[in-house]
Amino acid sequence: MLRISRSMYGAVGVLSLAALSIPARAAIPAAPGVVNYIEGAVSIDGQPITSKDVGQAEVKQNQTLTTGQGKTEMLMTPGVLLRLGPNSGVRMVSPNLTDTRVEVLRGEAMVEATDVHKENNIRILDHGATTTVVKNGLYDFDANTPRVSVYDGKVTVQGNDNTVDMGKGKQVLLDGRLKAVHFDRNQRDDLYAWSSLRSQYLAQTSVHTVGLYGGYPYAYGYGPNWYWDPYFASYSFFPYGGFLYSPFGYGFYSPWVFYGGRGFYGGGYYRGGYYRGGVPPVRGGFRSGSSPAVGVHGFNGGGVRGGGFSGGGFHGGGARR
């Protein structure tokens, strides 16, 4: 006869409570097309949506997402999302993970790509041209001009019987024969500023969301994906096993970073290694003092668990305004 000790009952109880603590909506990660944030007037196929619909409203195949005097954010593949400025619209051509296609109908759209893989096929259609996102980066699509601008990363643009590869600081007009030219990346409009702020908020949300999943590895079974945080009423991104930077320089962290990677890679690289020695929250600086991005004080001084987020870090340092 199998005997179950009190300690085993306790372990089962803890696991049960852990399972209950994971939001039900997060059991199935978001698919491409889920609306993650709105401001002002936003609609799907002409039907207005509100903040109560965030995380549940989904732009399905051949449906359109449009804004009036407002802005919105739509999830695409894990780590990739699209934002719309005022008086703008897109049509979802294909919402599949390995074939994600969106057509910009009017106005301005910006794509923030933090985790692009070779298996992805992310394409943006605009005025007969097709732009394929090749690398992580930040891309702006203006259907009124029309043009494609690369703030960071790399794309391939096909149209008008020719193909152009573009990297950082290049743009192409879509109303004639495609030709890549330089543009001033310091000329940034309202959608750029809003996208940067949203990227910062998502990174902050990720820090909280990791606490919902990080202690219970089985809840992270979908690996790199969008995970729902009910307290922030938003999805946030977890990368695979480490951390990634958004094109704006904000960090997104896997639960394994915060919990030392025990049992994930045999406790080698993650346990007592680089991640516990400190992870810079923002690319290119902020290695001591407070980060203006996520308010992390002394992140590199003690790592995530010793003087970073938990020891005078995220809640103790405060963000600069």
Domain-embedded: residue 14: no
The answer to whether residues 125 and 269 belong to one domain is no
The answer to whether residues 126 and 264 belong to one domain is no
Whether 159 shows a pLDDT value over 80: the answer reads: yes
Domain coverage including residue 212:
191-277
User: CATH number for the domain including 135?
Assistant: 2.60.120.1440
pLDDT for the residue numbered 260? 55
pLDDT for the residue numbered 222? 66
The answer to whether residues 221 and 262 belong to one domain is yes
Q: Which of 163, 187, 211 is the last residue of a domain?
A: 187
The answer to whether residues 41 and 164 belong to one domain is yes
pLDDT in tens, 211-253: 777 655 556 666 788 988 888 999 988 887 678 899 999 988 8
The answer to whether residues 173 and 38 belong to one domain is yes
Domain-embedded: residue 92: yes
Q: What is the CA radius of gyration of the chain?
A: 21
Tell me whether strands 162-167 and 170-173 are parallel, antiparallel or unpaired. unpaired
Residue 208's pLDDT band (boundaries 50, 70, 90)? confident
The answer to whether residues 166 and 49 belong to one domain is yes
pLDDT in tens, 128-146: 999 999 999 999 999 999 9
User: CA 319, CA 196: separation in Å to the nearest integer?
Assistant: 15
- Residues facing 238 on adjacent strands: 225
Q: Report the domain count for the chain.
A: 2
Average pLDDT estimate for 19-46: 79
Domain-embedded: residue 210: yes
The answer to whether residues 166 and 229 belong to one domain is no
The answer to whether residues 41 and 169 belong to one domain is yes
Indicate the average pLDDT of the chain. 76
Least confident among 100-114, 147-161, 246-260: 246-260
Whether 315 shows a pLDDT value over 90: the answer reads: no
Whether 2 shows a pLDDT value over 60: the answer reads: no
The answer to whether residues 172 and 249 belong to one domain is no
The answer to whether residues 109 and 163 belong to one domain is yes
Phi, then psi, of 266 in degrees rounded to 5: 75, 15
**Global pTM value:** 0.76
Let me know: does 95 contact 120? Beta carbons within 8 Å. no
